[in-house]
Structure 1
Amino acid sequence: MSILKEVYLYFANGLFFKAQSFGSEGTFVGEVVFNTSMSGYQEVITDPSYTGQFIVLSMPEIGIVGANNQDRESSRAACTGVIVSSYNDFTSNFRSEQSLSAYLKEHNIMGICGVDTRGLIKMLTIQGAMMMIASTELTQECELKAHLEHTPPIQDIHFIKEISTKASYAHTDSIFDFAHFDYGTPPHFRAKVIAIDFGAKRNILNELIAVGLEVEVMPHNFSAADILSRFKAGEIQGVFLSNGPGDPLVLHNEIEQIKQLIQSDVPVFGICLGHQLLSIAHGYPTYKLKFGHHGSNHPIKNLQSGAVEITAQNHNYCVPESIAQIATITHRNLFDGTIEGVRYKDKPIFSVQHHPEASPGPREARMLFEEFAKLCCARK
């Protein structure tokens, strides 16, 4: 049984209050955002794109399904902490291997409960995402404020070099039971692609394999010259740019390498951060949304088919409308009209802001992986 401790929270807007801690103890600083998913909290917590952030979960009751080793989206801790209304230490799920409290402590993630999450989310929608500090050690408002003021803002931190793989590797694992999905049995490899790891979710790599793509994962500090040499030699047929945390504008070296990639005719597919980096590399800088899009129930309009797709989302940044000068806008967010997908004119390059691999969330947009596979096969 998890023993709750007192934890003190201080926000950049001056809000200060006491709650209870059920995760790792200590002093933690990060940007606070909210997620509207009703399920899949373990996948959310382990999504590398949440690095450096506290996640306010809108689902009021959290913890009953516990945690297990299969539902993680990365091998290491991702978010800084989670904030919930009511935490349940008792688990009632045949797949549970440990309580959420034990899982958070194992991965050094803070868990905070006993919070009016409805009120907190309302504050964030009005005032926007902001930095906060939470501590089981510091109890005075002045102490917390001073500590927070000496912490660099999230947009100045280069998270990618901490979470990206350190060496290239072949991704062969898959959590899919192919017999229960519409891809049928595992296909033979149709083409080989390089996946650049800016904080890639495991399920993205699984989806690439599911459509018959052999996947080699490379670190964030990749060499475009090396990739293009292998593409010209016929060793690979495409490049995938993954999701990841933080402000894309701080990734100067990565952007320079992508600029070299897009000068060639190599097929490129980007998701989330990869989508943003492609925009910047083409000369169209991203901008920060007020409180971002985080959840597994966000509607978008597929402008090519006319269909409305419910999607998983996790981003604070967006590409500008001016990108329509060089790319066709393929998807739009139906909450605020922002761009959710583009296809570059006269180039084998496309990208989306949402997460077609879901996890958690619906799989209505997963055929984008098949589109990428066809694009790569055309280059063999």
Structure 2
Amino acid sequence: MRDGHREDRPIRILHISACVGGGVPRAITSIINNTQSFEHFVMASDADSYDCVDRAHLFDLSPNLAKALRGVRNLESRVRPDIIHAHSSVAGVIARIVSRSPVIYQPHAFAHTATSKSLAVRVPASIVERALSHRTAAYATLSPAETSAAQALGAATPTFELPNVSSVQAISPSARKPLGHEKTKFEVVMVGRVSSQKGAWFFAESAEAAASSKLPLDFTWLGDGDPALCDSLRAAGVRVTGWLDANQLAQRLQRADVYLHSAEYEGFPISILDAHASGLPIVAREIDAVRHLDLELVSTPTEGTAAAANLAVDPVARQERLERQAHALRHMNDVGQRDRVTEMYRTVGQNACFDARSNPGASRRR
């Protein structure tokens, strides 16, 4: 869309992400897979790792901020996107500073809402978000809590709450091997970047609590990240696998027994949906992103360990939990995501076209 006119072609979406590994690349891939009526471009820090090479045009985003700013500006001039979809905070800042196209900002968790962070971190993050809210065409959020956080930033900016979807193929309950009475150890897993945001300390203390109580649980973190935190996990007896591709992740989840989500704050974690698709009962730390759902919520590592042990060894409790979480997560599916993302892109595109017609001499974004 240029000055109210777009040539006869699909609407072009340019996704920007500075995230390496973790859930954000999987979230972008699922959006691309579910909205093939649009033409997608991805500029990302690890573009080669995206599993959508046949469905999107991929470009590298420099880790150097100045080069990233120039790169986004240059690519926007070449691609002429109708919409830029910026994922997570760094990309959100870059896109809203340099872009002339309307920007949809998907925070994948607002850092300023993390009560575990110090005010020295949260206040500057809040100031930046408020300042850039006036350069945001729409927010894409993943939970009621994140929607409220976006709306509290002050600008009258449209907000679209999107369902996340699993990044692994769902398996039928019969496809999982029964636990069996011969099993003496059960594997508890967490998926994602090893970071303070993902609650590495919570998972480490859960492993230590299980060991001190002599519970039959082994703990594994499926992912990688901060070297010091990885060492802390290992010191607590947690196995850290390193980054896994989609097939490896699916295989490891299918071999596990319980999923324990330890994050301190989130938008909404794809890994919970991946665990459910893999037939795992879910224990989740009680945070805003999941508080509205009927999941097994815990507040402390000791509570998490006890809940995981119960779901591992008690087949009745396990089956009840699987049924309740299936009901809680039923709206997070490909059709729901396709419809909501399509609505968001078409609405933002139409608003941009209207603005251009109303102000034919003005730039697309001010």
TM-score, length basis structure 1: 0.28
TM-score, length basis structure 2: 0.29
Which is richer in helix? 2
Which is richer in strand? 1
The structure whose RCO (Cα within 8 Å, separation 6+) is larger is 2
